[in-house]
Amino acid sequence: DAKTTQPPSMDCAEGRAANLPCNHSTISGNEYVYWYRQIHSQGPQYIIHGLKNNETNEMASLIITEDRKSSTLILPHATLRDTAVYYCINSGSARQLTFGSGTQLTVLP
Amino acid sequence: GAGVSQSPSNKVTEKGKDVELRCDPISGHTALYWYRQSLGQGLEFLIYFQGNSAPDKSGLPSDRFSAERTGGSVSTLTIQRTQQEDSAVYLCASSLSTVSGNTIYFGEGSWLTVV
């Protein structure tokens, strides 16, 4: 069973920042937080991952709380193409990715 | 190639037939994974390879499922005597290694429909 908790759905206005929360209260010390997204009928797309420091790449930013029990994925300027299911996963090794039900993000025009 | 490549992208087969699904990982990636996703469901881990070895086969649903990897590159997932419940998207992924913190990249999947 999934070790993370995410809201089932969120809306965001186009051009605004989308902030997607995730709770991972049982995360252990060597587990990373990964974010993927999946657009219908496509394979999961890697977004970002981190251990304890905040991370930023060309797609998004990842904010991890100091106690590492929760994190937030930030899409700084959401577009309609960002509409997808977003998965937050914690994993101690690259083979143990357990996808939960994720958050359906809908970007509204 | 630039990403993980899977073929066929779509396959319709008759119940009882065997099917082979192919995965070509990102060049240089030693770890390769197979997952499947049934309609409206989450991803189910099937098997992973480190090089040509498969240390963990516990995710394979039955003995009708097998996988191999040769030359540390291409992998084939074989389903024998397909059943309707095998209908799903079969996703392949790869990473530099299985060490914690490596990024796993997925292919677009092979859609299997058993009729």
Please give the pLDDT value at position A95: 66
Q: What's the mean pLDDT in A59-84? A: 96
Chain B nearest C-alpha distance from A94 (Å)? 5
Q: What is the pLDDT of residues A36-50, one digit of tens each?
A: 999 987 899 999 999
Amino acid at A42: Q
A32 vs B100: CB contact, 8 Å cut-off? yes
pLDDT winner (highest mean) among A57-61, B48-52, B100-104: A57-61
Gap between the Cα atoms of B58 and B62, Å rounded: 9
Q: How many residues does chain A have?
A: 109
CB contacts under 8 A, A 43-82 vs B, are: 43-46, 49, 51
Residue of B57 and A73 predicted with greater confidence: A73
Gap between the Cα atoms of A29 and A31, Å rounded: 6
Average pLDDT, chain A: 91
On chain B, the residues whose CB falls within 8 A of the CB of A45 are 106
Q: What's the mean pLDDT in B9-35? A: 96
Read off φ and ψ for residue B31, nearest 5 degrees: -100, 140
DSSP-based three-state secondary structure for B34: strand
Chain centre distance of CA A37: 7
* H-type alpha helices, B32-85: none
Average pLDDT, chain B: 92
Q: What is the pLDDT of residues A79-92, one digit of tens each?
A: 999 999 999 998 86
- Report the percentage of chain A scoring pLDDT > 90: 72
Please give the pLDDT value at position A106: 97
Chain B nearest C-alpha distance from A109 (Å)? 26
Inter-CA distances, A79 with A18, A73, A88, B11, B113, Å: 10, 15, 20, 33, 33
Q: What's the mean pLDDT in A37-64? A: 93
Q: How confident is the model at residue B90 (pLDDT cuts 50, 70, 90)?
A: very high
Among the ranges given (A36-50, A87-101, B37-51), the one the predictor scored with the smallest mean pLDDT: A87-101
Residue of A29 and A78 predicted with greater confidence: A78
Read off φ and ψ for residue A42, nearest 5 degrees: -115, 160
B104 vs A45: CB contact, 8 Å cut-off? no
pLDDT at A9 over 60: yes
Which residue has tokens 């999934």? A2
Which residue of A48, A95, A101 is the best one to mutate when testing the B interface, meaning the one whose CB has the most B CBs within 10 A?
Answer: A95
DSSP-based three-state secondary structure for A52: coil
Gap between the Cα atoms of B48 and A68, Å rounded: 28
Read off φ and ψ for residue B27, nearest 5 degrees: -55, 130
Q: How confident is the model at residue A62 (pLDDT cuts 50, 70, 90)?
A: very high
Please give the pLDDT value at position A82: 97
Backbone φ/ψ region at A54: left (φ over 0), alpha (ψ -120 to 50), beta: beta
A46 vs B109: CB contact, 8 Å cut-off? no
Read off φ and ψ for residue B36, nearest 5 degrees: -135, 155
